[in-house]
Amino acid sequence: MSSKDAMSKQYKVSEVSAATGVPPATLRLWEQHGLIAPSRTPSGYRLYGENDFARIHQIVRLRSVQGLNLAAIKSSLDDTTPVALDAANEQLPPPRLGHEIRRLRREKKLTITALAERVDVSPSTLSTLERTSRGASVPLLRAIAEALGVTVTQLTASPVETGKAVVRSGEGRQLPSLGKGIQIRELASGPRMMDCQEWTLAPGAGSEGFYRHEGEEFIRVLEGSFEIEVEGLGLATLNEGDAIYFESHRAHSWRSVGTKPCRLVWVNTPPTF
């Protein structure tokens, strides 16, 4: 196991089963067939990291969507090049998302129905999200995070206690994707007064609806074109070098426009994303 993996949060088999909907016995069977390889404590207990979560989600997809048996799944995973595997994982939901929503909901003694009412979705939608980490849009994640008293970053990413003052080009923590075509790199972390992130959006990727929250936001486009509509300010298309500032309580919706990826710096204060 690499030093990076060793520093990431690890989960027990019961937590992985609850987060993915895969029974512990099935996880052990997959391990016997060489599909997954969790680490072990000195006493022999299995521990699963973020990469294991992503691989389990991929196995579930190959079984449920493509109907492959275990031998075919192993062959498919073994034949997948690292580049292709990364591309496949990019479309997977944040692996710990459902588990964290369930844990925080129970911590606050909320039923699925009670939380669903707070975020204005059906209990079945929330139940599916908790079991599979699937079905969340940016506005829904924003509403769930607010209802649970956390940020979207805290809900989807492994906790980081401190961050470096200087972040070199290409450095920074890569956050789990919040949807197809959305990549986020954290430029500052820890007990800060701001969320500082670099977003890369594929053409057409967007928020899939309006959302609002407390705070203020600043966005500057580094490459490509970005369309944003803000309540009271109207619709604006920002190109390379353009920027926008607005109060986050104004409902806002956004998407990448044009034929090329859009890259931008996005700052929220206080940390609310």
pLDDT in tens, 107-163: 999 999 999 999 888 888 888 888 877 777 777 888 898 899 888 777 776 555 455
Map out the domains of the chain as residue ranges.
Answer: 3-90, 97-155, 163-269
What's the pTM value of the predicted model, to 2 decimals? 0.54
Q: Phi first, then psi: what are they for 114, rounded to 5°?
A: -65, -45
On average, the pLDDT of the chain sits at: 79
CATH architecture assignment, domain 163-269: Sandwich (2.60)
CATH topology of domain 97-155: 434 Repressor (Amino-terminal Domain) (1.10.260)
CA distance 139 to 248: 13
Contacts of 231 (CB under 8 A, 6+ apart): 210, 212, 250, 251, 252
Domains 3-90 and 97-155 share a fold: no
Query: Cα dihedral angle (261, 267, 271, 273), rounded to 10 degrees?
Result: -20
Mean pLDDT highest for which of 61-70, 85-94, 174-183, 219-228?
A: 219-228
Q: How confident is the model at residue 190 (pLDDT cuts 50, 70, 90)?
A: low
252, pLDDT greater than 80: yes
Which residue type, as a one-letter code, is found at position 70?
Answer: L
The class (CATH top level) of 3-90 is: mainly alpha
Q: Residues 218-232, buried b or exposed e (16+ Cβ, 10 A)?
A: ebbbeebbbbbbbee
Contacts of 192 (CB under 8 A, 6+ apart): 163, 271
Parallel, antiparallel or unpaired: strands 252-257 and 182-188? unpaired
Output the pLDDT for position 256.
94
Among 177-191, 192-206, 221-235, which is the least confidently predicted range? Answer: 177-191
